[in-house]
Amino acid sequence: MSSYSANQTTSKIRCPIHLFEPQEIKIEALTKSINAARTASEKMTFVHDLISEVNVLLECASYDRANPNCCLCRSFSQLRLQTTDVIACVAALAGGR
């Protein structure tokens, strides 16, 4: 079983305006913080920051649907937002514990 890292993704997405890589570094750090947090309320602190960083990519004014790099970036970003929704739902069910 191979392990996956965001660095593998970063090397494959070639952002035409060089926005993806610095955002990916921030997103990876926040994801690690979410995974390390022990309680739902701790996780939610990082989730809000993660949403902000992902939205930077989703709101890219240079998005080009004909560019496969832009499409990959947008798809990854949408998946990350869905993940934050799941974490928020679990936190709500846990009562913020």
pLDDT tens readout for residues 45-84: 999 999 999 999 999 999 999 999 999 999 999 999 999 9
* Confidence band for 91, pLDDT divided at 50, 70 and 90: confident
10 in a structural domain: no
Structural domain includes residue 6: no
Q: How many domains does the chain have?
A: 1
Counting DSSP H helices and E strands in the chain, the numbers are 4, 0
Average pLDDT, the chain: 89
36 in a domain, yes or no? yes
Burial 10-46 (b: 16+ CB within 10 A, else e): beebebeeeebeebbeebbebbebbeebeebebbbeb
> Which residues constitute the domain of residue 87?
17-93
Average pLDDT, integer, range 4-27: 80
Examine residue 7 and state whether it is found in any structural domain, yes or no. no
- Taking the CB of residue 70, how many other CB atoms lie within 10 A of it? 21
Domain for residue 81, yes or no?
yes
- For residue 2, pLDDT over 50 is answered with no
In a domain, 11, yes or no: no
Is the predicted pLDDT of residue 8 greater than 70, yes or no?
no
Give the residue among 75, 77, 79, 61 at the shortest CA–CA distance from 16: 61
In a domain, 3, yes or no: no
